[in-house]
Structures are given as C-alpha cells and as structure tokens.
Amino acid sequence: MDLMYICQICNLILRDPVQLYCGHRFCESCIDVKERGFIKCYQCERVTSTSRIFSDRGMKNGMQMLRICCFLCHWNGLFKNYQNHLTKNHSTNQSINNNITFQILQLTEKTYEYSKKVKIFKPSTEQILSQTSTYQLSIEETNPPEEIFQQKNDFIISYDGRLFWKIDNIKDQLNDMKSMITSPPFYTSLDGYKMCIRLYINGNGIGQSTHVSIFIVLMRGNHDAILDWPFNYQVIFCLYDLINRNNHIIESFQSNIKSICFQRPQSEMNIGYGISKFIPRSIIQQDNNCYICDDSIYIKVMIRKNPIPTFIVPYIMNINPALPTHIQEEIIEKEIQKTKIQPLKLILKLKSSSI
C-alpha cells in the first residue's frame, strides 16, 4: 500500500486523517488533538497549533476505494466496506480479544525495556536541571521561549480576504510525487466566507507531473446562513519573484457561480476550483531560480468583491505587505482610478485636436 495512506505514528492505515500545517497527515487519535495545545510533527518536527490542524476529508474520501485485507480472516475488499465487515463478522469474535491481548503484552514488554534505559539517564538529567534552573528563570522573564512566540503567531488568522503564505521545505516537496499542501483557513471578513488554498506541488488533473496546481476551497463557516450564495468574487494567485520583484507569476479568475465549487458548503469543504497549470515544474526545479529563497516559496492570494483590472495586478502585488490593510486598499483604489482617468484624457485630447 502507498505510504501516503499510512500513519507514521501507529504504522497503520490512516483513520480519520488530519493534516498538520506542514502538510503531513496522521490519525486524529494518534496526535491527541483535543488535549494538547501544540503538535510537533513526527516526520519533520515542525510545530502546529490546534487551530491549524484540520480533518482531511479529501484524503478520507480518496481512501474509500482502497483495496484492503482483513487481519482477522481472508476477506478482502474496499476500505469503505471494511467497517461493515467487522461489525457483521467480527463484532463478538474472540480473535479480536486475543489480538488486543497480544498487543498489550508486547507494549508492556517494550515499556519495561524503555523504563530501564530511562533510569540510566535520570541522574545526569537531574544534575543538569539543578545547575540551570536559576538561569532559566531569568531568561523566561525577559526573553520568552520561541515556542511561546510561535503559539501566539500560529493563532493569527486573516480576515481581509488576503493570504500571504510561506511554504517551507519546497525541495523535499518537489521530490514527493504525492505532495499536497493545504493553507491555514482565512476569511473575507470577520463574519465572511471561510476558505483555504490547496497546492499540489507535483500537479493535479491536466497539470499532473508537469505543473504546480493551485485551488481555492470554500469551507463551511459559522455565518454561511446569512451570506449570499453562490460565492461571487475575483480570485488572484501570485507566486513571488523573490529576487527581482518584477517577474511574479500571477493568475486570476472570476468565480464560476454555476459551479458546485462556489455553492454553500454542505460538508466541511467543497471541491477545489483553480489553476491546474499554475507554474511549470521546470521553472522551480531550476537551480538558483528567483522563486525559491531559503528553501521556501511565497504565495499571495487576494479575494476581491470589486475586481482589479488584470493589467494593474502586477503593480498591486508589489505593494509592501507590511503596510496596514487600509493603506494598501487606498493605494489600490488610486491605481484603479488612474486607469479610469487616462482613457478620458485621451478622448478629450482627440476632441480638442479635431477642433
């Protein structure tokens, strides 16, 4: 079976898969989401807050057609039918109890072995703690640990229809042919539409293996009942040129209000809609290309009710993202007004010359 369907914690097939901010997936029960404020990825060791962990319904739906074998009998079939098989044939089966008992015995033996190893390190650990406790106290008072800062940062969610998304470990992602990354959720406003962005580093659909694909995915929100449907906004994707700042890769489109992708979500997420051929893979695979810096790429997403003319979008993307949102909007509006005034000046000039 493909390793993408295997939880790297329990080494079993994913059950109720969830995706961390780094893109790796695990069983929901394995990472204990509800009890811990932060999860450290067991594969790449990146830290993710619970607010950025989400149920991966796309993966769960995709797994339904996997062919699997029952470990209790000779049955084999589709994963979506496995639970019914267990209920029908093994709900009172003594072999289940025997299997669980055997696993408990194995775990008990391993726990005993590890406990002996822990005792070896205990004296030196206590000595180190006693020597550093006073220094640690003063450091925490003036310089909070990086993890505390990360906790505050991870809870920042965009409520202005903009997402500035940094994607790390891009070289590893390029080598992972199954790589799919989902952004943190963001909103058009405090009470607005909820959505996320899904990026296929190695392509999806007609862009499979040749391009990077990018999609917007509408998510079920708390205020959907009072919002206007279908979703009718301009969507702009931009991959930043991190060296020259004048060769961004930009795509934009107006949402297709007839598509099911932009209707009110009836589940946690709608089907994604976007650009299958966003970036040729050959571009970002080149050495020293202008889109990768420190093994990271930056993607900006803008959701606009009032569309921006496509020919001024490159200018808009060069606005300093550090500026407050209302200042950025003022700059955008001024640039839009310029495009309306210039044709008028041309008409007046032509009229005056004809007189």
Residue 276 backbone phi and psi in degrees, to 5: -70, -30
What does the DSSP assignment read for 14-65? -SSEEE-TTS-EEEHHHHTTTT-SEEE-TTT--EEEGGG-EE-HHHHHHHTT
Residue 220 is assigned to a structural domain of this protein: yes
Domain count, the chain: 3
CA-closest candidate to residue 170, choices 56, 18, 279: 279
Residue 274 backbone phi and psi in degrees, to 5: 180, -140
Q: Does residue 14 sit in the same domain as residue 104? A: no
What burial class does residue 349 get, using C-beta atoms within 10 Å of its C-beta: 0-12 exposed, 13-18 middle, 19+ buried? exposed
**For 203-242, what is each residue's pLDDT tens digit?**
888 888 899 999 999 999 999 999 999 999 999 999 999 9
State yes or no: cis peptide before 230, omega within 30 of 0: yes
Looking up tokens 């790589």 gives 179
Residue 347 is assigned to a structural domain of this protein: no
Residue 344 is assigned to a structural domain of this protein: no
Which CATH number do you get for residue 76?
3.30.40.10
Q: Does residue 184 sit in the same domain as residue 318? A: yes
**Residue 80 neighbours by CB under 8 Å, 6+ apart:** 64, 65
Q: Does residue 117 sit in the same domain as residue 202? A: no
pLDDT, residue 105, reads 52
How many angstroms separate the CA atoms of 161 and 186, rounded? Answer: 7
Domain boundary among 36, 54, 89: 89
Q: Does residue 320 sit in the same domain as residue 285? A: yes
Which CATH number do you get for residue 249?
2.60.210.10
pLDDT, residue 247, reads 87
Q: Does residue 284 sit in the same domain as residue 175? A: yes
Residue 280 structural domain: 162-336
List the beta strands (DSSP E) in the chain. Answer: 17-19, 25-27, 38-40, 47-49, 54-55, 67-69, 76-78, 162-167, 180-182, 186-187, 194-200, 211-219, 234-239, 249-254, 273-280, 297-304
Residue 346 is assigned to a structural domain of this protein: no
The dihedral region occupied by 149, where left means phi > 0, alpha psi between -120 and 50, and beta the remainder, is alpha
**For 81-137, what is each residue's pLDDT tens digit?**
877 887 787 766 555 555 555 555 555 555 555 555 554 444 454 554 445 444 444
Residue 19 backbone phi and psi in degrees, to 5: -115, 135
Q: What is the DSSP letter of 102?
A: H
Could you tell me how far CA 287 lies from the centroid of its own chain?
Answer: 26
Per-residue pLDDT at 71 exceeds 80? no
**For 2-53, what is each residue's pLDDT tens digit?**
677 788 787 777 888 888 877 888 888 887 654 446 777 877 777 777 777 8
Q: Does residue 73 sit in the same domain as residue 116? A: no
Answer whether 0.85 is exceeded by the pTM.
no
Per-residue pLDDT at 70 exceeds 70? yes
How many angstroms separate the CA atoms of 153 and 147, rounded? Answer: 10
Domain boundary among 39, 69, 89: 89
Inter-residue contact 237 to 214 (CB < 8 Å): yes
What does the DSSP assignment read for 117-155? HHHHHHHHHHHHHHHHHHHHHHHHHHS--HHHHHHHHHT
Domain boundary among 67, 89, 111: 89
pLDDT, residue 128, reads 46
